[in-house]
């Protein structure tokens, strides 16, 4: 099983400031078809999860451009260029290259 | 607009069974793989099971042999039959579109307790 390790697990941020979350996988997430099936999800308090980023760096429809994803192989990053109040919640990374699908532990983003 | 509506959750005793349903709308259901993901109270996300468009199925080790995923394309509905339930199966169960979880339902709570 591929283990996904996120850091930090808690991230206090100031409104308008940037934020960054790291995710590392225990194996390469490059699929045999050449794609890297790595996603980021946001779960706001009391809500269902929502996918933000797919295949490392592609934003889902409706996701603000202040969110960006990057990385390759085993190391990935989610960046928020300027944190807004609506960004509070828990962020999860997830790999879709190997079975079973696995998630990171989650990073809780809160406003200072 | 993609909509996924789960139902069938509730309180069940250890060793009991439940069948979850997920009614899909807003897209051609038969063209998409579908998945179940769960979240224990106060915990993170855990993939449970997926089914492909051709009916191929995949399970987490924690539920293999106890849970069965299926689909009825004529009714645009996804199912999860859960048998031999354990306390550790207590969670909100989400239905998600594709095996990359691009859309999620609101979830249904399953509580396994005596």
Q: State residue B12's pLDDT score.
A: 98
Give the pLDDT of residue A5. 98
Nearest to A91 by CA among A73, A72, A110, A74: A110
Confidence at residue A8, expressed as pLDDT on a 0 to 100 scale = 98
- What's the pLDDT at B99? 78
Look at residue B17 in the predicted model and tell me its pLDDT.
98
Instruction: Give the mean model confidence (pLDDT) for residues A6-30.
Output: 98
Give the pLDDT band of residue B98 (cuts 50, 70, 90): confident
State pLDDT tens for residues B62-85. 999 999 999 999 999 999 999 999
CB atoms within 10 A of CB A64: 13
Q: Which of B50, B100, B105 sits opposite A48 (nearest CB)?
A: B105
The whole-number pLDDT of residue B53 equals 95
pLDDT tens-digit series, residues A87-104: 999 999 999 999 999 999
Name the average pLDDT for chain B: 97
pLDDT (0 to 100) of residue B100 = 86
CB A17 within 8 A of CB A67: no
Report the pLDDT value the prediction gives residue A56, as an integer from 0 to 100. 98
pLDDT on residue B81 = 98
* Gyration radius from chain A CA atoms: 13
Whether the CB of A38 is below 8 Å from some CB of chain B: the reply is no
DSSP for A37-93, written as a single string = -EEEEEE-TTS--EEEEETTTEEPTT--TTEEEEEETTEEEEEESS--GGG-EEEEE
* Tens-place pLDDT, residues A29-64: 999 999 999 999 999 999 999 999 999 999 999 999
In this prediction, residue B91 has a pLDDT band, given cuts at 50, 70 and 90, of very high
Interface residue A40 vs chain B (CB under 8 A): no
User: Residues of B numbered 11-50 whose beta carbons fall under 8 angstroms of chain A's beta carbons: which are they?
Assistant: 35, 37, 44-47, 50
pLDDT exceeds 90 at position A3: yes
In chain B, % of residues over pLDDT 70: 100
**φ and ψ of A110, to 5 deg:** -135, 160
Q: How far apart are the first and last CA of chain A?
A: 36
* Residue B19 φ/ψ, nearest 5 degrees: -125, 115
> Residue B90 corresponds to which tokens in the numbers above?
């207590």
Contact: B46, A39; criterion CB under 8 Å = no
Residue B47 has pLDDT above 90, yes or no: yes
Closest partner CB to A50 (pick from B100, B104, B107)? B104
């Amino acid at each position: 099983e591929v283990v996904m390790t996120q850091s930090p697990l808690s991230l206090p941020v100031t409104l308008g400031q940037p934020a960054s979350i790291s995710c590392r996988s225990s194996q390469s997430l490059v699929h045999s078809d050449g794609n890297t099936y790595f996603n980021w999800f946001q779960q706001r308090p009391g809500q269902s999860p929502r996918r933000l980023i797919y295949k490392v760096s592609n934003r889902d429809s409706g996701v603000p451009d202040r969110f960006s994803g990057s990385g390759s192989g085993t190391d990935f990053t989610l960046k928020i260029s300027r944190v807004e109040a609506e960004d509070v919640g828990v962020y999860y990374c997830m790999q879709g290259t190997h079975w079973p699908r696995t998630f990171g532990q989650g990073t809780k983003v809160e406003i200072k | 607009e993609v909509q996924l509506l789960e139902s069938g959750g509730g309180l069940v005793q250890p060793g009991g069974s439940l069948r979850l349903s997920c009614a899909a709308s807003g897209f051609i259901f038969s063209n998409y793989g579908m998945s179940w993901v769960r979240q224990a109270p106060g915990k993170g996300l855990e993939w449970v099971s997926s089914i492909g468009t051709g009916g191929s199925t995949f399970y987490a080790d924690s539920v293999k042999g106890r849970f069965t995923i299926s689909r009825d394309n004529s009714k645009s509905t996804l199912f999860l039959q859960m048998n031999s339930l354990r306390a550790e199966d207590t969670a909100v169960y989400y239905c998600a579109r594709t095996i990359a979880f691009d859309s999620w339902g609101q979830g249904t709570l399953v509580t396994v307790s005596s």
